[in-house]
Chain A
Amino acid sequence: MSNNPVYFEGYLVCTHDEGIIAKSRFKANHTHVFGPDSDYTTLAISAINFMRKTLDVTNFIVDDNIQIEVLQACGYLHDENSIWAILCSPNSAELCITKKDKLNSEIEGEETNLTFVKEIENAWIKEGNSISQGAYISDQSYNLSISGRMNLQGQKVDDNYVWPAREYPNYGPDIVDSNLSKSGTILSWTSLAPGGAPSEFSIRAPILGGISTVFVKLKDGPNGVFLMADDDSSSLEIGLTVDLVVRKIYAQEGSVRYGLKAIISKLQA
């Protein structure tokens, strides 16, 4: 067992003889708390991604705190017969993936303000109750592109990768769905003032002090725009390498929409 946590996709992960433990890197009053766009679902996805670096496992018994359909969109399944279970800690932003009992491990974290955490939690609830009065993405529209949103699934057209997927009515069968590498380079970026954010973010943006977006050249060729994960815009620069991780994007009409956000890579090119 190792208590030395690894920073992975913005979380802290440590390996254990019986599985792994993943925790939010933020702490308030000695308890792990979620960052501004994380929850058990996003933490679970990152924990599985970490685990899959050494183990080819896709099926899990999933805790009620985790949204199964979001996990599925990432290629992972809820399976009552799996030997692996994802267990969430009800009072702390942490979970373990285990073959047996719940795993425990003390991990340090970055201290954050509990008031801020509560404000963000309440903002997500309020946002989830909102109804669009203009621009709108239906469930159908969102779900049609969910593989592109979670897995960066695009297309290989001849020798080029395309993302997000496009329609090619006259092209024929030579288009193959393909998951692109979740890494790229910042070509441009901006930070929007709280009042400049789209309505979908208008409740959280003032609490966060604005939101930041990067325009990224993906490793496989296409460009994309992504919000910064964990509201981290402290060191944005053209040329920096970013990785793409699953986070909450926004909430509307009772459901949370998830997707990829950018995080500054620890391994800069």
Chain B
Amino acid sequence: MNLMHRELVELLTAGVVMVEVAIIGAGQTKYGNHEKGLKGMWAESAKNAFDSVDHNFEPKLIDEAFIGSTAFGGGQLGNTAAILTEHSGMDNVSVRRVENACASSGFALRDAWMAIKSGQADIVVAGGIEKMNDLSAERKRFWLGVSGDTEWERLAGLTFPGTYALMARRHFHEYGSKHDDLVNISVKNHTHGFLNMHAHLRKEISFEKAKSGFMVADPLTLYDCCPTSDGASTVILAADHVVKRFTDTPIWVKGSGAASDNLALHDRPSITELIATKKASKKAYELAGLTPKNIDIAEVHDCFTIAELLATEDLGFCDKGQGGLFARENRGLRNNGEVAINPSGGLKSKGHPLGATGTGQAVEVFKQLRGEVEQGRQVIDAEIALTHNVGGSGATCAVHIFGREKNVK
């Protein structure tokens, strides 16, 4: 346990009153092939977030901003964040880009939470953005997989479909899970995403169709892989002593945890679990005073279907090795079991604009917990939600837990 986390736990245990943090507004663009560029997408996402705050909000009130992005394609590799704030009414706000591969904005969210927790800021924006579909095919191919281990894995022919395929086959071997279990995950997430107006792939798919997709990285087929999406997402966080000025229905950040792991698969003791997920979620559960059984909604990082299967195990929704059975029994389907997994459609259907994904997950749970999602998409009686954002094949991970009620001191 690191010092900051230990101190937080000790202070909470001792009954010391610390500032609590809530989301007061959240918005995003539609994910997909977006007609706007970086500036336009960020402006749209930020405006949607600003407009979602119930009252009295102005961008000039923002103290700090953290924007996650891999700067895919290298178009604006340096000072990416500054050029976004100047086009969204956030002029002169202290801002920086946060880069942790696909977990960039999960970590931006954590940084924003820490900025308020530290007492240095009252109102902080966390967001993310990626423009992936304006590159030539050749350039795009060079950028896909840049967050993996370049020296060894890439020269062994691996990009992320390949690394996750290795994990999948090993999980099948060790635990008896099957590709059909992954197909179930794909079908479920498309069912969820079909009703999400912000989703990239808004289409339901049959089990047979998902099962017969062309092979991308054996055993993973096209329907096991998320799309490459354009998109932006923004959340506004506030300290508890200012929350009431803006909303009567804040969504509280009850816990935050993050961890890292070896970048390359071959340096890890196991390829059928993500240690970073386990460690990050343990911290988040601990701070929130909750267990996996308390979670009603989990937006998990399903860049590939096997990643969702592993997440259900690593986050504690089922025992190790039971992720296949969990998927087979469709226990993650909305309003079908104890926890709804990826009611947004997840990365598989909603889409995966790398840097935007983490805060996009927070946008979803903010709306779910406030009962503001599209008709038919609501997870009934949801009180507690979790977001799980993974960088690459698990080198980094940020987990957050949210609730309608503030943590009990």
Contact = CB atoms under 8 A, between A and B. Distances in A.
Interface stretch (A45-53, A59-67, A218-226): A218-226
Nearest to A201: B157
A200 B142 CA distance: 8
A96 B390 CA distance: 52
A227 B157 contact: yes
A191 B217 contact: yes
A134 B217 contact: no
Nearest to B165: A190
A250 B155 CA distance: 8
A188 interface: yes
B138 interface: yes
Size class of the contact patch on chain A:
35 or more
A134 B157 contact: no
B169 A188 contact: yes
A198 B271 contact: no
A199 B215 contact: no
B292 to A, nearest CB: 27
A259 B155 contact: yes
Interface string A161-185: 0001000000000000000000000
Interface of B: 74, 138-139, 141-143, 145-146, 150-159, 161-162, 165-167, 169-170, 173, 214-220, 264-267, 271
Contacts of A226: 156
Contacts of B170: 187-188, 215, 238
Interface stretch (A68-76, A111-119, A120-128, A135-143): A135-143
A192 B155 contact: no
A223 B264 CA distance: 10
Interface of A: 132-137, 141, 145, 164, 187-193, 195-202, 211-213, 215, 222-227, 238, 249-250, 257, 259
Contacts of A145: 151
A198 B154 contact: yes
Contacts of A215: 166, 170, 265-266, 271
B213 to A, nearest CB: 11
19 contacts: A132-B142, A134-B139, A134-B142, A135-B142, A164-B152, A188-B169, A189-B166, A189-B169, A190-B165, A190-B220, A192-B165, A198-B159, A199-B141, A224-B156, A225-B156, A225-B158, A225-B266, A249-B155, A259-B155
Contacts of A198: 141, 145, 154, 157-159
Contacts of A249: 155
B157 A213 contact: yes
Contacts of B217: 190-193, 196
B161 A134 contact: no
Contacts of A136: 150
Nearest to B173: A238
Contact of A134 (B146, B167, B218): B146
Given A135-B146, A191-B218, A238-B173, A200 B155 contact: yes
Contact of B145 (A135, A141, A193, A195): A135
Contacts of A191: 215, 217-218
A228 B187 CA distance: 33
Nearest to A261: B156
Q: Which of A136, A137, A188, A202 has the largest count of B CB atoms less than 10 A from its CB? A: A188
A213 B156 contact: yes
B192 to A, nearest CB: 26
B266 A222 contact: yes
A189 B141 CA distance: 22
A137 B165 contact: no
A200 to B, nearest CB: 7
Contacts of B145: 135, 198
A238 B159 CA distance: 21
A200 B141 CA distance: 9
B216 A134 contact: no
Contacts of A212: 157
Nearest to A249: B155
A248 to B, nearest CB: 11
Contact of B162 (A134, A192, A259): A192
Given A190-B217, A213-B166, A196 B159 contact: yes
B6 to A, nearest CB: 22
A135 B150 CA distance: 7
B145 to A, nearest CB: 6
Given A193-B215, A211-B157, 4 more contacts: A141-B151, A188-B167, A188-B173, A215-B266
Contacts of B150: 135-137
Nearest to A216: B266
Nearest to A233: B218
Contacts of B165: 190, 192
A85 to B, nearest CB: 32
A225 B153 contact: yes
Nearest to A211: B157
A238 B171 CA distance: 12
Q: Which of A193, A212, A225, A226 has the largest count of B CB atoms less than 10 A from its CB? A: A225
Contacts of A134: 74, 139, 142-143, 146
Contact of A135 (B154, B161, B167): B154
B156 A200 contact: no
Contacts of B142: 132-135, 199
Which 3 A/B pairs are nearest by Cβ-Cβ distance? A134-B142, A190-B165, A225-B156
Contacts of B265: 215, 223, 225
Nearest to A141: B151
A204 to B, nearest CB: 11
Contacts of A202: 138, 141
B281 to A, nearest CB: 25
Q: Which of B142, B146, B150, B214 has the largest count of A CB atoms less than 10 A from its CB? A: B142
A192 B169 CA distance: 13
B56 to A, nearest CB: 44
B37 to A, nearest CB: 19
B32 to A, nearest CB: 20
Contacts of A187: 170, 271
Contacts of B158: 198, 213, 225
A197 B142 CA distance: 10
